[in-house]
Amino acid sequence: MIDALRMWQTLELSATEKIDEVAHDGWRVEQWRAPLGCLGFVFEGRPNVFADATGVLRGGNTVVFRIGSDALGSARAIMSQIIEPALEGAGLPRGAVGLVDSPEHAAGWSLFSDARISLAVARGSGEAVAELGAIAQQAGIPVSLHGTGGAWIIAGASADDTELSDAVQYSLDRKVCNTANVICVVKENATSHIPLVFKAAEKAAARRDTLVRIHCVGGAERLLDTTVDIDVVRAHGTVKEKQITVAQQSDLSKEFEWEGTPEFFLVVVDDVAHAVTLCNHYSPQFVVSVIASDSVESEYVWSHVNAPFVGNGFTRWVDGQFALHRPELGLSNWQHGRLFGRGGILSGDSAYTVRLRVVQQRSDIHR
């Protein structure tokens, strides 16, 4: 959070900046960056959003937050100890950053139905985000949200063992939206790659002092021990479950919201084309990683998968601060269609609109 706030401090960003100019005979058209206005953020237990989003002030915007009850105390402390003193020190009005000090979900609904909001950003995943987005859209407010997350890893026939192992291990270090949710291995490599994926996932789980939980599709369970019972950390407590279970292909649309026990689908596919077909149909069309030494396989995935974020290693790179050196305001997937005119990362320097200004030097330009 401290790094994000300091990143805003050094970011070259102005509330008004000329970004382009088109010259004509006797006149010119200038394009100027202009603030959007007031941005509304609704999020649950993620007080780091304060650091990510407060800096929209640098672009001439203001911001209002609503946070869930589990982190409301942290939010109050951040406002009183950091944000308000910083606003006063900068000579800005205290109301430039607002906190809706209410734990009620209705407070978020009310915020996202207020026509004074220029952009509604919902941070998180699941039905609550989709509901918030629908409320904002009904009020005519543009939204930035992804509703569901969960990344896919596709191991091609040419996948290098070490690269696959590293991608799996470092995509399961903690549960956020860009964590691996589905891992696909091709049938011809199943005998070697399924145990490899299991061992790599075990390494990730061991760093959390737990074990891994795997749901198998397409026969992946045949190469794993389905008799082992483990303790699985759930939101309501620790429960005893089978470590390896069988799932249906139709289950692949589920995003695991695991607490302490890394959990994912392991799928056996015919080839990368089969994996891409499954991904385009069942995934939230968000993050995809293709592990393949053969450029034909990797290029096929890049050309055919419907996702804004595609890589060739661990999936957790999808983060504005980490990847773009920009404080991230929010991520968007393509679950409800591709984005118009921008990438999937809403970053600190992209919360603006464009105004046009004409400057005429001669009076005889009229037609």
Q: What is the pLDDT of residues 189-219, one digit of tens each?
A: 999 999 999 999 999 999 999 999 999 999 9
pLDDT at residue 165, rounded to an integer: 98
For residue 20, list its beta bridge partners: 31
Q: Which CATH architecture group holds 2-147+335-358? A: 3-Layer(aba) Sandwich (3.40)
Distance separating alpha carbons of residues 50 and 11, to the nearest angstrom: 17
**Rounded CA separation 167/286 (Å):** 17
**Average pLDDT, stretch 357-363?**
85
According to CATH, the topology of domain 151-317 is Aldehyde Dehydrogenase; Chain A, domain 2 (3.40.309)
- Between 69 and 152, whose confidence is greater? 152
Is the Cβ–Cβ distance between 122 and 145 less than 8 Å? yes
> 315 pairs with which residues across the strands?
none
Asked if pLDDT for residue 44 goes beyond 80, the answer is no
Confidence at 363, pLDDT banded by 50, 70, 90? low
Q: Which pLDDT value is given to residue 191? A: 97
CA-CA distances (angstroms) from residue 249 to 125, 142, 268, 283, 320? 22, 34, 10, 11, 32
pLDDT value at position 366?
A: 63
Flag whether pLDDT at 367 surpasses 90: no
79: left (phi over 0), alpha (psi -120 to 50) or beta: alpha
Q: Which two tokens stand for residue 34?
A: 């202009």
Q: For the segment 263-318, what is each residue's pLDDT rounded down to a tens digit? A: 999 999 999 999 999 999 999 999 999 999 999 999 999 999 999 999 999 999 99
- Is 130 within 8 Å of 62 (Cβ atoms)? no
Q: 342 pLDDT band (50/70/90 cuts)? A: confident
Q: Could you tell me where the DSSP H helices lie in 234-342?
A: 272-282, 295-304, 320-324
> What are the CA-CA distances from residue 160 to residues 109, 183, 294, 298, 329 (Å)?
48, 15, 10, 13, 35
Region 11-21 average pLDDT: 84
Q: What is the rounded average pLDDT for all residues in the chain? A: 92
| Alpha-carbon span 261 to 214, nearest angstrom | 10
Query: Residue 364 — pLDDT band, cuts 50, 70, 90?
Result: low
Indicate whether 365 pLDDT > 70: no
DSSP 68: -
Average pLDDT of the segment spanning 159-177 = 96
Give CA–CA dist 124/331, Å, rounded.
Answer: 9
Q: Is 125 a residue whose pLDDT tops 80?
A: no
Predicted confidence band of residue 335 (pLDDT cuts 50, 70, 90): confident
Asked whether the predicted pLDDT for residue 323 surpasses 80, the reply is yes
More confident residue, 347 or 166: 166
What is the per-residue pLDDT for 327? 80
Domain definitions of the chain by residue range: 2-147+335-358, 151-317
